[in-house]
Amino acid sequence: MIGFISYLVNGISLGSVYAIIALGYTMVYGIAKMLNFAHGDVIMIGAFVVFSTVSGAGLPPVIGVLISVVACTLLGMAIERIAYKPLRKASKLAVLITAIGVSYFLQNVALLIYGANTKSFTSVVTIEPLTLADGALVISGETIVTVAACIIIMIGLMTFMKYSKSGRAMLAVSEDSGAAQLMGVNVNSTIALTFAIGSALAAIAGVLLCSSYPSLTPYTGSMPGIKAFVAAVFGGIGSIPGAFIGGILLGVIEILGKAYVSSQLADAIVFAVLIIVLLVKPTGLLGKQIQEKV
C-alpha cells in the first residue's frame, strides 16, 4: 500500500512537470493555432540559464530563476518575431517545419556553448523532504514545490484569461482572430504576449524538471517536450485545465504502468491510453467541439 502511494506521489510529481510544459503548448496552440515544437528546447535553455547563473556565477537560486524567466520570455518573443510572425499567412505546414527548425537551432546553439557533456543540475529547492509513515514514504521538497507551482500557475492563468483585458483578448483571438481584429484587438501583440507567457512558463518548467531529475544536456527538453505535447492533446489541446489534467494523468499512468505492468512498456501504455481517449473523445478530455457554421 505504501508502495502504491509512493508510486502515485512520484507519478503526480512527474505529471506536474508535464502539466507546466503542456500549459505552454496549449496556450500557444489555442491562440496562435500553431504547434510550437521548440517549446521543449526553450525549457532546456531555461535550465541552462539557471545552471550558469546559480552553479556557475554563484548567484542565489531565486535570482537565477528570475533571470531565467526573463531570458526565456525574451527568447520566446524573439523566436515569435523572427521565425513565426513572417509566416503568419503561410501554410500551417510551413510554420510547423519552422518550429522544428527552431528546435534544432536551439539544441545546436546549446551544444555549441555548453558542449555535449552532461551537466549535473543542483536543485534550487531547499525545502526538507516530508517523511510520512515512519520513513516508508518520503515526499521530496522538489515534488512539493512542483505540484504547488503547477496548481498556482494553472489558477493564475485561468484568472488572467477570464478577468484581464489582455486575457480576454487572447480568448477572442483564439475563437476567431479575424473577427477579433475587426473588433479592435491587436492580434500581433496578443500572440507575442502568448509566446512571452508560454516561454516564461517554460523557464519555470525547466528549473523544476532539472531540480527533480538533475541531469542537463542540450537534449534534455526534447523528450519531456514531446510527452507534454501528448499531455496537452490528451487533455484537449487549447484548454488550460485540460493541459493540467492531461499532464498529471500522463505522469501517473507512466509511473504506475512502469511499476505494475512493465518498465519497458511504460511509453506504449501511455500512448495506448491516449489512442483510446482520442477514439472515444476526439478533442481530448476537456477539448471543445468547435462547430463550423455554414
Stretch that binds another protein, among 26-34, 92-100, 150-158, 179-187 (CB under 8 A): 92-100
Single-letter residue type at 224 = P
5 binds another protein (CB under 8 A): no
CA distance 100 to 37: 6
214 binds another protein (CB under 8 A): yes
Instruction: Select 214 or 241, whichever has its Cβ closest to another protein.
Output: 214
136 binds another protein (CB under 8 A): no
CA distance 82 to 86: 7
- Closest contact distance (angstroms) between CB of 32 and another protein is 16
Residues numbered 238-257 forming contacts with another protein, rule: CB under 8 A: 254-255
93 binds another protein (CB under 8 A): yes
Among 8, 83, 158, 171, binds another protein (CB under 8 A): 83
Among 5, 55, 171, 196, binds another protein (CB under 8 A): 55
- Closest contact distance (angstroms) between CB of 248 and another protein is 14
48 binds another protein (CB under 8 A): no
- Closest contact distance (angstroms) between CB of 10 and another protein is 4
Which residue bears the cell 510520512?
A: 132
- Tell me the number of residues near another protein by CB under 8 A: 59
> DSSP letter string over the chain?
-HHHHHHHHHHHHHHHHHHHHHHHHHHHHHHH-S--TTHHHHHHHHHHHHIIIIIIT---HHHHHHHHHHHHHHHHHHHIIIIIGGGTTS-HHHHHHHHHHHHHHHHHHHHHHH-SS-EEPPPS--PPPEEEGGGTEEE-HHHHHHHHHHHHHHHHHHHHHHHSHHHHHHHHHHH-HHHHHHTT--HHHHHHHHHHHHHHHHHHHHHHHHHHS-EE-TTTTHHHHHHHHHHHHHH-TT-HHHHHHHHHHHHHHHHHHHHHT-SSSHHHHHHHHHHHHHHH-TT-SS---PPPP-
Instruction: Select 260 or 288, whichever has its Cβ closest to another protein.
Output: 260
- Closest contact distance (angstroms) between CB of 154 and another protein is 21
Q: Mask 178-207, x = binds another protein (CB under 8 A)?
A: ------------------------------
Cell of 62: 531565486
Among 1, 165, 182, 264, binds another protein (CB under 8 A): 264
273 binds another protein (CB under 8 A): no
- Closest contact distance (angstroms) between CB of 167 and another protein is 29
Q: Angle at the Cα of 287 (from 226 to 237), degrees rounded to 5?
A: 25
In angstroms, how far is the first alpha carbon of the chain from the final one?
Answer: 55
Among 5, 187, 266, 278, binds another protein (CB under 8 A): 266
Instruction: Give residues in contact with another protein (CB under 8 A).
Output: 3, 6-7, 10, 14, 37, 51, 55, 82-83, 86-87, 90, 93-94, 96-98, 100-105, 107-109, 111, 115-122, 129, 135, 138, 140, 209, 213-215, 217, 219, 222-224, 226, 254-255, 258-259, 262-264, 266-267
